[in-house]
Structure 1
């Protein structure tokens, strides 16, 4: 009894996945209709082509007509072949545009949903596995739109047209077509269930291997430093073997599907040939008059074409299975929108905006208890703080006291385990951490992430404030110098200054700065603090620091102790 609800749930899930796949191509409805129309028109012309060939054979072989009398048949055949070639190219082009539209829509949806999950969720994921959602999963659905969907329309329309045309000249052959055709989709359906499961496992294995490999590439320097290169190479090889095994299983099922279809199609064509042969030999008589040679050739030419759309459907059936598997993988890794909405609803009371009130604090931390991502214990307990407009605050304390954790919580990256963080309505918060993420590209490109339309003059000015020009002017191309991913080629202090400059371009109401003056010489630190004071005048700055100079720069010092986390204010 329990298997019935499970089966219904699986069917409902499959329908939802198919509906989701249909929505991806909603922006290319015209191209979809054009591809379907071209395929059906080409199938209709196939009947004309078979009729022209059969007429030519009957006229030349049986009726002994000369070339002049049959020339019009050759002209018809040439025109039909040309039209079918043009229609085939049109169908492929239109289907390719549909596939491109669907792939773009998939990547846009995945990207938006990844962004909606927020930094806290993203930090728990493997970037390589998420990257597969935008790459191989997009490629997995390409065959569904470019191959399976046009053939699905063809398999409904073209065989019916062929059966009707054949029934007009010989009803026995039409009956053979009609009674043998259902065997093919029945066995394809049985094989397709296994193909979908195998495709889902193969995509999952591919995503895991990609995540494993991407993570190892990122930590390659560290692996070499500790002599773990050979061991990790074995791990990559093992992951690749898993993908190979899954892929071979998918191919075995695909070959099985093609074999089943070819078997039934061949048997059906042989039945038609056997019937016609026995009729011509006089061993079978189901008609008052024996069919002519032209009639027999017409039926024999259309017999394999009747099953050709089914053959193509079988060839592309694994594309449907791969597309459904990709939909399931996207759903598995990102969860559905309801889960995301629920997660947002739960997290909302932790960082909640309040209506603007006269003299209300910019941010209010109320008895917050914080625990870093992946930590076993809390580092901040019962912490309370009010941050007002235009303040310069220095957050100090020994390493491990929770300075970075508190900044991440204020930035919205880490919800409090207890207590609340209340942000005044309309306040923009910007955060520059100790390890800002820098993309492969120029320094200027990394700065423009905050404001793509920023002018060159303002970009230069902000780089001067953050002391980026102090080292960039010595680089070969200045701000146009290309740096590696995660700031490869820069020191830790230089990377932090780029992150600070990027934040200055954003111009938030509250600057959260995590050790911005670390690794700087005294003169550079003094210049940075002086320029930062001028640039952020009227805005609020909360800076985690160990520097005595930065503490004197601040209006107020907030001290975190490793044992008792309690705000202690006082003018420096």
Structure 2
């Protein structure tokens, strides 16, 4: 969403923000405009037929009760009334179906926008977020806008068309009733506006509380084993109960506003209908005469039948006004959780900067005066860093913890934009990154490997697993690569999880391999076998490896030693 100018007056800024949120909500349904128009047409056509329905009923009452016509003479009108009821039923179903399709399209568009935005943020930003809270953007916030498209928008169109048609029809037979309707109509939107402000604030607080409770609960579920280990299980129940109580209080506040507003609006609508009935009753009793002749019973019934229907769209709009408030609250929460105060990381598969023109014998990567700072940190870990990496070179980054090895790999992967300097790439390349904590999903080892290439054959899968030394422990598992592991690699050691992450990278077959401590937690025999297999698999490819291992340093073509107190790295041949 666009950002408001800081110099804008608070009230004006709030109005602009609400308009921007409404435009943002309208943009979600751009893909279903035809269904949106169909829903509007169906609901307006149904309202227009309502006038014919009231006219048929009033004529039947006048003919049968007052004029005493035989039923045979009214059969045609009865048939017409049945036909009108049938058409109104069909139009009502069509309006609901079309509005539901619009709501589904808008909800899908919202989830696509949120998902795309989360992908743009990159893994470094996502690491600092609560996954449970972010998941609410795709779940409850998506559901919150459903009522806006399925309820509020069609009714808003109905309010602009149907009451006007009713006033014209009633005014044609009795102008006094039309005046009563026109004078009392503004009461409903006035109170609806007053209540809507409170409803929007309460809805936003309720959605925020729900997102926080979801994040809290999801985090506790993920760390349930650790909580039990330290005997904090019972204590955490209190925190979950407090979070649930906060959601209950916010929800009840929203419901109180909803019930109060409905009661007030129903009261004023009932008073208005009663004024019409009182006027007609006094006219029939001869106590009030605003016409040359007393209105007929049919005229009175026509007006009385349409008077509640005049306010019905306004009452429905008031009821669905809370859907609008919830949708605006959801839009505000999406804006808050995806605020534009952080740099957006480019997609990892794309180069961090546009590639330079290809030059003969130019280095594959050129790092010019880089200044890097880990996301969320207050100090740079590297400044004035320059380095050239040739095609096919195997480079080891070594140095004490905190000197910037992992941060440099993240910058080379395109996840972390440099604060200063630039990274030049020679042409297009496929980049693969294997971090210290690879994310493993619940499923089989083979499923986790196939994230890199869903079409990979079993032979390629096993070859990558063999090269990364995954088969060393997978052969001992009950189902081999088909063995199911838990979320985040539950059931595996840290070294085993890293080897699966490395095998997944090898299956992707990148041109540039970025490896962060790939041999950590491995015994010397497994480490030697892994380095040997990696040398074969990475032949002709460029490898940049952060490591503390002496064996990995000997394996590399060159070693770059990073010093936390030195801007320029020390490069030595291995």
For residues 351 and 211 of structure 1, the distance between their equivalents in structure 2, rounded to whole angstroms, comes to 35
Alpha-carbon contact 2:122-2:344 (below 8 Å) kept: no
Distance change in 2, residues 1:77/1:317 (3 Å) = same
Q: TM-score, normalised by structure 2?
A: 0.91
Alpha-carbon contact 1:350-1:416 (below 8 Å) kept: no
For residues 41 and 309 of structure 1, the distance between their equivalents in structure 2, rounded to whole angstroms, comes to 14
3-state SS of 2:301 partner = helix
Distance change in 2, residues 1:556/1:47 (3 Å) = same
Per-residue deviation at 1:325?
1.2
Task: Please name the residue that 1:529 is paired with.
Answer: 531
Distance change in 2, residues 1:321/1:375 (3 Å) = closer
Greater mean deviation of Cα atoms: 241-250 or 544-553: 544-553
Per-residue deviation at 1:401?
4.4
Greater mean deviation of Cα atoms: 556-565 or 537-546: 556-565
For residues 417 and 26 of structure 2, the distance between their equivalents in structure 1, rounded to whole angstroms, comes to 37
Greater mean deviation of Cα atoms: 96-105 or 64-73: 64-73
Task: Please name the residue that 1:544 is paired with.
Answer: 546
3-state SS of 1:450 partner = coil
Alpha-carbon contact 1:351-1:415 (below 8 Å) kept: no
Correspondence list, 1:104-183, <5 A? 104-183=108-187
Task: Please name the residue that 1:520 is paired with.
Answer: 522
Question: Per-residue CA shift, 1:145-180, capped at 9, x if unaligned?
Answer: 000000001111111111111122211111111111
3-state SS of 2:9 partner = helix
1:232 aligned residue (228, 231, 236): 236
3-state SS of 2:514 partner = strand
Greater mean deviation of Cα atoms: 306-315 or 192-201: 192-201
1:316 aligned residue (317, 320, 324): 320
Task: Please name the residue that 1:54 is paired with.
Answer: 58
Segments of structure 1 that go 5 or more residues without pairing to the other structure are none
1:407 aligned residue (406, 409, 413): 409
Task: Please name the residue that 1:216 is paired with.
Answer: 220
Correspondence list, 1:268-417, <5 A? 268-335=272-339, 353-366=355-368, 368=370, 370-374=372-376, 379-380=381-382, 383-416=385-418
For residues 554 and 267 of structure 1, the distance between their equivalents in structure 2, rounded to whole angstroms, comes to 87
3-state SS of 1:546 partner = coil
Correspondence list, 1:455-466, <5 A? 455-466=457-468
Per-residue deviation at 1:38?
0.9
For residues 136 and 239 of structure 2, the distance between their equivalents in structure 1, rounded to whole angstroms, comes to 19
Task: Please name the residue that 1:491 is paired with.
Answer: 493
Is residue 250 from structure 1 mapped to residue 261 from structure 2 by the alignment?
no
Greater mean deviation of Cα atoms: 478-487 or 156-165: 478-487
Distance change in 2, residues 1:555/1:42 (3 Å) = same
Per-residue deviation at 1:373?
4.5
Greater mean deviation of Cα atoms: 394-403 or 318-327: 394-403
Question: Per-residue CA shift, 1:127-151, capped at 9, x if unaligned?
Answer: 2222111111111100000000000
Per-residue deviation at 1:251?
1.7
Alpha-carbon contact 2:367-2:424 (below 8 Å) kept: yes
Greater mean deviation of Cα atoms: 160-169 or 98-107: 160-169
Question: Per-residue CA shift, 1:298-354, capped at 9, x if unaligned?
Answer: 111111111110111011000001111111121222225xx678998xxx9996754
Task: Please name the residue that 2:190 is paired with.
Answer: 186
Distance change in 2, residues 1:519/1:459 (3 Å) = same
3-state SS of 1:282 partner = coil
Correspondence list, 1:97-108, <5 A? 97-108=101-112
Question: Per-residue CA shift, 1:264-292, capped at 9, x if unaligned?
Answer: 10011000110111111111111222112
Alpha-carbon contact 2:351-2:414 (below 8 Å) kept: no
Question: Per-residue CA shift, 1:509-560, capped at 9, x if unaligned?
Answer: 2211122222334443333222221211111112223333323322223334
Question: Per-residue CA shift, 1:460-518, capped at 9, x if unaligned?
Answer: 33222222233334434433333221111222122111111221122222211122222
3-state SS of 2:295 partner = coil
Is residue 553 from structure 1 mapped to residue 555 from structure 2 by the alignment?
yes
1:29 aligned residue (29, 33, 45): 33
Distance change in 2, residues 1:92/1:229 (3 Å) = same
Segments of structure 2 that go 5 or more residues without pairing to the other structure are 1-5
1:454 aligned residue (453, 456, 470): 456
Distance change in 2, residues 1:170/1:194 (3 Å) = same
For residues 273 and 297 of structure 2, the distance between their equivalents in structure 1, rounded to whole angstroms, comes to 17
Alpha-carbon contact 1:47-1:165 (below 8 Å) kept: yes
Alpha-carbon contact 1:401-1:565 (below 8 Å) kept: no
2:18 aligned residue (6, 14, 21): 14
For residues 481 and 518 of structure 1, the distance between their equivalents in structure 2, rounded to whole angstroms, comes to 23
For residues 214 and 103 of structure 1, the distance between their equivalents in structure 2, rounded to whole angstroms, comes to 23
The two structures, once aligned, show a CA RMSD in angstroms of 2.7
Task: Please name the residue that 2:84 is paired with.
Answer: 80
For residues 85 and 165 of structure 1, the distance between their equivalents in structure 2, rounded to whole angstroms, comes to 22
For residues 183 and 545 of structure 2, the distance between their equivalents in structure 1, rounded to whole angstroms, comes to 79
Alpha-carbon contact 1:362-1:427 (below 8 Å) kept: no
Alpha-carbon contact 1:166-1:174 (below 8 Å) kept: yes
For residues 8 and 169 of structure 2, the distance between their equivalents in structure 1, rounded to whole angstroms, comes to 43
For residues 373 and 7 of structure 2, the distance between their equivalents in structure 1, rounded to whole angstroms, comes to 44
Distance change in 2, residues 1:447/1:205 (3 Å) = same
Distance change in 2, residues 1:397/1:6 (3 Å) = closer
For residues 559 and 210 of structure 2, the distance between their equivalents in structure 1, rounded to whole angstroms, comes to 51
Question: Per-residue CA shift, 1:429-469, capped at 9, x if unaligned?
Answer: 32101110112223233223223333443333322222223
For residues 343 and 41 of structure 2, the distance between their equivalents in structure 1, rounded to whole angstroms, comes to 41
For residues 544 and 52 of structure 1, the distance between their equivalents in structure 2, rounded to whole angstroms, comes to 84
For residues 99 and 214 of structure 2, the distance between their equivalents in structure 1, rounded to whole angstroms, comes to 29
Greater mean deviation of Cα atoms: 107-116 or 366-375: 366-375
For residues 153 and 111 of structure 1, the distance between their equivalents in structure 2, rounded to whole angstroms, comes to 31
Alpha-carbon contact 2:563-2:569 (below 8 Å) kept: no
